[in-house]
């Protein structure tokens, strides 16, 4: 139970709050790509054209593990799977829990995304999984509007009323910008169902230096017809890299800012964020104490492939393992919808994730296909002599390795099997 609670704590601190970026939010790694679906029509292999200019790198999925102090090992915990539309925009995100007792994945929630002709996200809908109904149920949705300069001007969040079976207003955010296009203010409202009006709740004000670098975010709450300071985050830089974020709360009696948390950010020679060290302010000693730490690992192309969180153990005066997340990427041709793990080999798999059929795209004549679990167990073997697909429907949900062997050599590709 203790590990589970720590896991939930880590998840909470990695999510954006409604009033700006949470201090402990990990780097926001953006991925774009293409959604491949069952039943897609593949181009003729002899006439297929391949252009590197149409390739984009996307995050297909990620697997998270908790540290089990009893087994002294990482234990599979959650899974995230992403799908993409034909323009490379995220179209769906599904989050699942792994139950070690049953060895099965269970849906938790999903989000679908809709876009306008300018590829701007105009609507996202969140669903939760109904274990009694065995189906997705509406949870919340957000609708976005844009201005003449393609800037986001407002967003409205709705919650699903099961009794009325309709969407109802929840919160609204209005965005303001300066002449340079930088965000200057987020203004938040709550829906008052009694008066049927939007009521001011809080606002976040952004400040910048002469280099247009965000130096701070101050949050105010609406109280007695006045804006009252509540909290702030202050950013410090080395060049273009944020090196320190300090979070403080406004103390009304003393009319001063009181330290709460801070994050020290470390970068490698390529200016890629590799470590986030988080501290909490000790009001007794008036010093910063270790709290959380995140280590990030990247591939040669600076794609995030793993992050690990650590929790400071006061009793042992050392870091304890927390959560480990492994990220899986592929390159997709947005003209064909085919997934490529190795561009030079021009061998693709689609769809990925898949529910049943895994299609092989490219020259795979006289090729032997083997599917392995991540612990090296051989699960399935097939000869691809004129056959361009493998039926994986009987495999349990999870991540697998597809190894293709021929006279030309061997290649290994990752894929995800889902329900």
CA pair distance 272, 274, nearest whole angstrom: 6
User: Considering the domain boundaries, does residue 282 fall inside one?
Assistant: no
Question: Over the chain, what is the mean pLDDT?
Answer: 83
With 0.85 as the threshold, say if the pTM is over it: no
Q: How confident is residue 299, by pLDDT bands cut at 50, 70 and 90? A: confident
Cβ(219)–Cβ(199) below 8 Å: no
Q: What pLDDT does residue 6 have?
A: 38
Better-scored residue on pLDDT, 360 or 79: 79
The better pLDDT of the pair 248, 357 is held by: 248
Residue 374 is predicted with a pLDDT of 77
Domain assignment present for residue 359? The answer is yes
- pLDDT of res. 335: 66
**Is residue 14 a contact partner of residue 24, using CB atoms and an 8 Å limit?**
yes
Residue 375 in this model has a pLDDT that exceeds 80:
no
Rank 44-48, 91-95, 340-344 by mean pLDDT and report only the highest.
91-95
Q: Which DSSP string corresponds to 157-225?
A: EEEEETTTTEEEEEEEEEEEE-TTS-EEEEEEEEEETTTTEEEEEEEEEEEE-TT--EEEEEEEEEETT
Residue in the block written with tokens 């809908």: 125
320 within domain boundaries: no
Mean pLDDT to the nearest integer, 99-120: 91
CB neighbours (10 Å) of residue 76? 18
What CATH number does the domain containing 389 carry? 2.60.40.3080
pLDDT at residue 238 in the model:
96
- Mean pLDDT in residue range 138-144: 98
CA distance 261 to 244: 11
**Which comes out higher in pLDDT, residue 2 or 219?**
219
The reported pLDDT for the residue numbered 339 is 60
Of the segments 27-31, 35-39, 309-313, 324-328, which one has the largest average pLDDT value?
Answer: 309-313
Q: According to the per-residue pLDDT averaged within each range, which of 20-29, 32-41, 191-200 is highest?
A: 191-200
Neighbours of 411 (CB within 10 A): 16
Answer yes or no: are the C-beta atoms of 66 and 7 closer than 8 Å.
yes
Residue 408 has a pLDDT of: 64
Q: What is the pLDDT of residues 165-209, one digit of tens each?
A: 999 999 999 999 999 999 999 999 999 999 999 999 999 999 999
Euclidean distance between CA atoms 140 and 168, whole angstroms: 9
Report the pLDDT averaged over residues 376-394: 85
Q: What is the pLDDT of residue 341?
A: 52
- Using a pLDDT cut of 90, give the percent of the chain over it: 58
* Across 376-396, average pLDDT: 85
Reference 116, options 94, 85, 92; nearest CA is 85
Tens-digit pLDDT profile for residues 3-13: 333 333 333 33
Residue 412 lies in a domain: yes
Is residue 145 assigned to a domain?
no
Residue 380 lies in a domain: yes
Residue 157: other Cβ atoms inside 10 A:
18
- The better pLDDT of the pair 261, 46 is held by 261
Residue 241 is assigned to a structural domain of this protein? no
| 417/234 Cα distance (integer angstroms) | 43
**Torsion sign over Cα 10, 11, 15, 17:** negative
Q: Domain range for residue 405?
A: 343-417
Specify the pLDDT at position 50: 31
Q: What is the average per-residue pLDDT within 318-333?
A: 87
Mean pLDDT to the nearest integer, 93-120: 91
In total, how many domains does the chain have? 1
Percentage of the chain modeled with pLDDT above 70: 81
pLDDT by residue (tens digit) across 13-22? 333 333 333 3
Confirm whether 386 is domain-assigned: yes
What is the mean pLDDT of the segment spanning 326-353?
Answer: 67
pLDDT at residue 340 in the model: 56
Evaluate whether 392 touches 417 at the Cβ level (below 8 Å): yes
Q: Which two tokens stand for residue 134?
A: 């065995």
């Amino acid at each position: 139970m203790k590990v589970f609670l720590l896991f939930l704590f880590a998840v909470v601190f990695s999510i954006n709050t409604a009033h700006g970026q949470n201090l402990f939010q990990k780097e926001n790694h953006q991925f774009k790509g293409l959604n491949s679906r069952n039943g897609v029509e593949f181009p003729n292999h002899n006439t297929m054209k391949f252009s590197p200019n149409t390739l984009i790198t996307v995050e297909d999925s990620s697997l998270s593990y908790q540290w089990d102090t009893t087994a002294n090992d990482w234990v599979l915990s959650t899974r995230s799977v992403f799908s993409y539309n034909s323009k490379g925009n995220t179209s769906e995100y599904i989050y699942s829990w792994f139950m070690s007792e049953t060895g099965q994945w269970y849906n938790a929630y999903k989000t679908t995304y809709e876009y306008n002709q300018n590829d701007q996200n105009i609507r996202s809908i969140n669903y939760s999984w109904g274990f009694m109904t065995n189906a997705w149920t509406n949870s919340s949705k957000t609708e976005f509007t844009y201005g003449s300069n393609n800037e986001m001007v407002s967003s409205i969040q709705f919650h699903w009323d099961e009794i009325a079976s309709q969407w109802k207003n929840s919160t609204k955010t209005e965005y303001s910008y300066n002449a340079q296009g930088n965000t200057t203010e987020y203004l938040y409202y709550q829906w008052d169902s009694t008066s049927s009006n939007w009521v001011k709740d809080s606002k976040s004000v952004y400040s910048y230096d002469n280099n247009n670098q965000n130096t701070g975010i101050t949050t105010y709450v609406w109280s007695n017809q006045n804006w009252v300071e509540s909290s702030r985050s202050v950013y410090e830089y080395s060049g273009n890299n944020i090196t320190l974020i300090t979070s403080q709360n406004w103390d009304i009696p003393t009319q001063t800012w009181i330290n709460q948390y801070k994050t020290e950010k470390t970068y490698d020679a390529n200016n890629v964020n590799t470590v986030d060290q988080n501290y909490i302010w000790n009001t007794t000693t008036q010093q910063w104490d270790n709290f959380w730490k995140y280590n990030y690992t990247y591939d040669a192309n600076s794609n995030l492939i793993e992050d690990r969180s650590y929790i400071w153990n006061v009793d042992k005066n050392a870091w304890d393992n927390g959560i480990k997340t492994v990220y899986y990427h592929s390159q997709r041709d947005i003209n064909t919808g085919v997934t490529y793990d190795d561009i030079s080999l021009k061998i693709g798999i689609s769809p990925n994730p898949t529910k049943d059929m895994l299609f092989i795209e490219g020259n795979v004549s006289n090729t032997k296909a083997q599917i392995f679990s991540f612990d090296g167990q051989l699960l399935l073997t097939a000869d691809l002599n004129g056959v361009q697909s493998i039926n994986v429907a009987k495999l349990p949900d999870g991540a697998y390795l597809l190894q293709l062997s021929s006279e030309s050599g061997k290649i290994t590709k990752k894929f995800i099997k889902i329900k």
